[in-house]
Amino acid sequence: MPSFYHETHTLFGHLRNPVLQWIFSIDHKRIGLMYMVLMFTLFFLAVGAALTMRAELFAPGAQFLEPQTYNELFTFHGVTMIFLFIVPGIPATLGNFLLPLMLGAHDVSFPRLNLISFWFYVLGVILGISSLVTGQGFADTGWTFYAPYSIRTDAHVLSTLSAAFILGLSSILTGLNFIVTIHRLRAPGMGFFKMPLFIWGLYATAWIQVLATPVVGITLLLVILERTLGIGIFDPTKGGDPVLFEHLFWIYSHPAVYLMILPGFGIVSEVLPAFTRRTIFGYHAIAISSASIAGIGYLVWGHHMYTSGMSDIARVIFSFLTFLVAVPTGVKIFDWVATMYKGSIVLATPMLWILGSIINFTVGGLTGLTLGAIGPDIHLHDTYYVVAHFHYTILGGVIFMFIGGLHYWYPKITGKLYDEGLARIAFGLAFVGFNMLWFPMFLAGFFGNPRRYFDYLPDFTVYHQISGVGALLIASGLLLIVYTFYRGLRSGRDAGPNPWNATTLEWHIPSPPPLENFPKIPYVDFEPYEYEAGEPLVQFDENFRRIR
Amino acid sequence: MQQEMAYDAQGQPHPVVDFHDDYGGAKLGFWVFLMTEAMMFGTLFLLFAIYFYRHTESYVASSGHLDVWLGGTNTVILLVSTYTMGLSTMMLRRGRVRAAVLLVGATALMALIFLGIKAVEWNMEISRGIYPGSGVLDALDRGEILFFGLYFVMTGLHGLHVIAGVALMSWVLLLIRSGGIRPEHTIVMKNVTLYWDFVHLVWIILFPLFYMIGV
């Protein structure tokens, strides 16, 4: 059977040119792969910016960067990583590729809309990156665009703001498409509680995308109007209130944190059953905790603003609500641990990344509690402690989960296996490098090293130097992954449909999948993760009738 | 196209929902889209409420500058236009294509009149020197600066939605002509009607907030 690499549907019927076949393809798998290539290119650009900053910070004092360049660099790093990579990342890449496969559908509900959101994404990327080359330099506001600075600065904020606005639109359209697909196109028999947990993660994410992104969209639009027309809404000289900007910004951006992590949690819940060869512990609890994290995530934005001027009562309430998020998150973590308990764990590379991510994320989550409490936060606010905390959750958590997922679904996407030995070395480098990079930052921040500064006191030198070495290690680990994947593509062994003995629907079709995924849609009247003596319990014949 | 079936263990067939022509999906998708619109306008209404609370007196004073009669006329026009738009969908479903076309055309015409009146109003403010960033406005009280800032942003954003509505209605007319919308295939028509309902609903809230608090 020819795979989706050989044939495709496009927006304009049958196109001969293979490049146009990709650019105009409305097949969810090709769109997912296009996102993947573009996003990881940007990811490595942002990694480059981070390494440059680390090099500058290797010793106190100025080395080779101007302070203004440094401000633009960390803004570029933040904007690219947050808006271009991690927020849309997992849903747009793995989500697009896998959602219809896991649901037992031929495609997403609106394939053309899917392609249009990709184009919006490309437009956003072009707008965002353009200010790098068109004079005046990149924005220097940090990725949060806090008013009134973002209104007053001479740097090129307009194009970055418009880029973020358009990327928001793209993200909304993807979320909308996923919600409708999940509601409408589940295979017959598949109730909501028979869906794989990755789908649950994407579902909760999609609702956040749809309900939170418009808020930040209009807020950024107001800043744009502020800069161009001077309407005054956030400008204190005209009676506007910059703290309101912070409120509106974080009403989106805190749920966005969960928007980043929830699909990652979904990946963990897919990988664990496959490599422990048993059904996931507490399926319902994990599914519902995704939804409750999404819900509670809306109510906690104020914890970014303890020092911005809020009433004490509001601070106490936000602190309490922030702690509340730990409950469903804890439920998930304990369920994963319970899944592994007495399981026959296979320490393949995806499993290593997932275990690493659980460790990192736990550190990140627990340090989040100290920041959620008002007292410690006043001390730690805007220090490297915060930077270490969110890198532990986002880089050590989400990106580790993302990379674990990439390894896990690599055979499905390419039809090939990667070299296990190389992949493990890459994981080792990245895990050790990551912890060397960020753990010292907790200490530096605790002792009072402020974030976002181009320079630091000589007392902090040792932390920054250990970090610098760690940064090199993790960067080489990331490069090794790229090489491993490339080599797998060139000379890897054929993977076959189900190399990991996994149970969900995508593993029952050939790798790489054919154009319309399923020759016949299966009837799903079973739980997603059922094993019997280490083998998937459910099996289909070639017409997707159940044999077992 | 033939209805695809999935077969369970007992060999019973179950119909598969396909993404082609999925009426329920198209409807659900549009409702979700409207939620994003509601969140966006909701944010602006929230800002309005907060500044109204802080500067009630100057809000009331600036509201008095707006022309209630022009705004009121526009409200009536929008109300009638929603009625004709809804009626057009009903007519189409009953197979009365020509009546439907006329009603959509009438709706689009009313939308254009709405925009015309809006332009007259904006022009009145601007000729008095009141527009965002103008010297006259910036010399006024802070509450008034915020009131008119929000006035231009919110009515402007609403106006953009009206323009989009006119474009959508022209598209609907083209689709009816080419057979893309038929009495038995009205989902696009229904969604455009829903959209227009939303646009008129936003105005129904905007009107009292901006025009009536000063009366």
Give the whole-angstrom CA distance, residue A523 versus residue A547. Answer: 12
Lowest mean pLDDT among A142-146, A190-194, B39-43: A142-146
CATH number for the domain harbouring residue A208? 1.20.210.10
pLDDT above 90 for A535: no
Neighbours of B30 (CB within 10 A): 20
* pLDDT, position B179: 87
pLDDT above 80 for B93: yes
Going by C-alpha positions, the residue among A300, A284, A278, A314 that lies closest to residue A501 is A278
Taking CB atoms and an 8 Å limit, are B28 and A110 in contact across chains? Answer: no
Tell me what percent of the residues of chain A surpass a pLDDT of 70: 100
Taking CB atoms and an 8 Å limit, are A222 and B35 in contact across chains? Answer: no
Lowest mean pLDDT among A58-67, A148-157, A379-388, A443-452: A148-157
User: How far apart are the CA of A108 and the nearest CA of chain B, in angstroms?
Assistant: 7
* pLDDT, position A121: 96
Taking CB atoms and an 8 Å limit, are A218 and B40 in contact across chains? Answer: yes
Across residues A187-202, what is the average pLDDT? 95
* pLDDT, position B138: 84
Question: How far, CA to CA in Å, does A464 sit from each of A147, B42, B123?
Answer: 30, 45, 59
Number of domains observed in the structure of chain A: 1
ipTM of model: 0.93
Residue A455: pLDDT band with limits 50, 70, 90: very high
Taking CB atoms and an 8 Å limit, are A180 and B25 in contact across chains? Answer: yes
Place of tokens 């295979």: A187
At A327, list the tokens. 């409950």
Question: How far, CA to CA in Å, does A530 sit from each of A280, A538, B37, B97?
Answer: 9, 7, 42, 54
Q: Are B2 and B8 in contact (CB under 8 A)?
A: no
Taking CB atoms and an 8 Å limit, are B149 and A544 in contact across chains? Answer: no
Establish if A257 belongs to a structural domain.
yes
* pLDDT, position B119: 96
Spatial neighbors of A119 by CB under 8 A, at least 6 apart, are none
Give the whole-angstrom CA distance, residue A491 versus residue A120. Answer: 35
For A451, phi then psi, to 5°, come to -85, 170
Spatial neighbors of A250 by CB under 8 A, at least 6 apart, are A301, A302, A304, A305
Residue A13: pLDDT band with limits 50, 70, 90: confident
Residue A108 has its nearest CB partner, among B19, B37, B39, at: B19
Establish if A183 belongs to a structural domain.
yes
Give the whole-angstrom CA distance, residue A79 versus residue B81. Answer: 43
User: How far apart are the CA of A442 and the nearest CA of chain B, in angstroms?
Assistant: 36
Give B-chain residues touching A189 at CB under 8 angstroms. Answer: 6, 8, 14
Spatial neighbors of A271 by CB under 8 A, at least 6 apart, are A350, A351, A354, A404, A405, A408
Give the whole-angstrom CA distance, residue A520 versus residue A106. Answer: 9
At B157, list the tokens. 């954003």
Q: Count of CB contacts below 8 A, A vs B?
A: 132
Mean of pLDDT over chain A:
93
- Full 3-state SS string of A438-475: HHHHHHHHHCCCECCCCCCCHHHHHHHHHHHHHHHHHH
Residue B146 has its nearest CB partner, among A106, A212, A239, at: A239
Which residues form the domain of A262? 62-298
H helix intervals, A80-196: 87-90, 96-103, 111-133, 149-152, 157-184
Establish if A160 belongs to a structural domain.
yes
pLDDT above 80 for B2: no
The CATH code of domain B22-212 reads: 1.20.120.80
Give B-chain residues touching A522 at CB under 8 angstroms. Answer: 6
Across residues A221-246, what is the average pLDDT? 91
* pLDDT, position B133: 83
At A501, list the tokens. 């003995």
Domain ranges for chain B, please list them.
22-212
At A132, list the tokens. 């790098």
* pLDDT, position A2: 87
Question: What does DSSP assign to residue A303?
Answer: G
Spatial neighbors of A484 by CB under 8 A, at least 6 apart, are A418, A419, A422, A423, A426
Give the whole-angstrom CA distance, residue A450 versus residue A63. Answer: 19
524-543 in A: which are within 8 Å (CB) of B? 525
Taking CB atoms and an 8 Å limit, are A214 and B39 in contact across chains? Answer: yes
Establish if A288 belongs to a structural domain.
yes
Establish if A481 belongs to a structural domain.
no
Establish if A74 belongs to a structural domain.
yes
* pLDDT, position A502: 93
- What is the reported pTM? 0.94
Residue A155: pLDDT band with limits 50, 70, 90: confident
pLDDT above 90 for A363: yes
User: How far apart are the CA of A122 and the nearest CA of chain B, in angstroms?
Assistant: 21
* pLDDT, position B1: 59
* pLDDT, position B136: 86
Taking CB atoms and an 8 Å limit, are A214 and B36 in contact across chains? Answer: yes
Strands A531-532 and B13-15 turn out to be: unpaired
DSSP-assigned states of every residue in A242-293: HHHHHHHHHHHHHHHHHHHHHHHHHHHHHHHHHHHTSPPTTHHHHHHHHHHH
pLDDT above 90 for B135: no
Establish if A245 belongs to a structural domain.
yes
Going by C-alpha positions, the residue among A439, A350, A442, A470 that lies closest to residue A400 is A350
Across residues A198-222, what is the average pLDDT? 94
Establish if A146 belongs to a structural domain.
yes
Q: Are A435 and A377 in contact (CB under 8 A)?
A: no
Residue A231 has its nearest CB partner, among B4, B32, B153, at: B153
Q: What is the dihedral of CA B212, B115, B29, A20, to 10 degrees?
A: -150
User: How far apart are the CA of A151 and the nearest CA of chain B, in angstroms?
Assistant: 13
Place of tokens 């320490």: A347
pLDDT above 90 for B208: yes
pLDDT tens per residue across span B136-154: 888 888 899 999 999 999 9
Spatial neighbors of A360 by CB under 8 A, at least 6 apart, are A392, A393, A395, A396, A397, A400, A434, A435
Across residues A337-365, what is the average pLDDT? 94
Task: Name the residue of chain B whose CA is nearest to A521's CA.
Answer: B6
